[in-house]
Amino acid sequence: QIIGADQQHNDLDADAIKKAVTGFANRKRAREIWGDAWIKDQDGIGACQGYASASAVERARWLRGQVEVKLSGDFAYALVNGGRDNGSQLANGLRACQETGYAPESTPGLVRWEYRLSRMPAAAKEAAKRFRGFEGDVATTEAGLYSGLAQGFVGVIAVHVAGQYSRLDRHGIS
């Protein structure tokens, strides 16, 4: 999913993408803009969609010149997981962000690494109304993803993994 502008991006051709990402001497890589302080830790629960989506909205807000507000990946995950720690889909998270919004991490009573919506404080649901997401655009091709990123959108990519993901082979590869 691509989160950022209130409009859909247009796919660029390969030359336009290359020009967009290499044509500016002062262009910075995402890692240079958003360092370690922007990385969220889901601590082993299946909340990667929630954490990624909350991070994407934080970054999209920041790119628009809005004040940085850390949003809760746990709240984002709880909105769509049906009360079970069994993962969730990006499209469901995007929809929840647009309809409900994401609560700030600083919301009173919000507990870290809680994945059940029933245990979220009422204050979180109220605070989330202030942080509804932008219209997103789903990239269905690699070129579509590159086009969106080249045009300044914030991208979220899902990588579905099983329990053995953390087990590395003799070459250090998962």
pLDDT in tens, 71-119: 999 999 999 999 999 989 988 998 999 999 999 999 999 988 999 999 9
Contacts for 160 with CB less than 8 Å, ≥ 6 apart: 87
Mean pLDDT of 127-143: 85
**11-20, 40-49, 98-107, 125-134: which is most confident:** 98-107
What pLDDT is attached to residue 133?
75
Mean pLDDT of 38-61: 90
Cα 117 from Cα 96, distance rounded (Å): 13
pLDDT at 5 over 50: no
**36-45, 60-69, 164-173: which is most confident:** 60-69
pTM value?
Answer: 0.82
Mean pLDDT (the chain, rounded): 86
Contacts for 166 with CB less than 8 Å, ≥ 6 apart: 174
Cα 163 from Cα 150, distance rounded (Å): 34
Mean pLDDT of 26-46: 84
What pLDDT is attached to residue 102?
96
* CB-based contact 156:56 (threshold 8 Å): yes
What pLDDT is attached to residue 169?
85
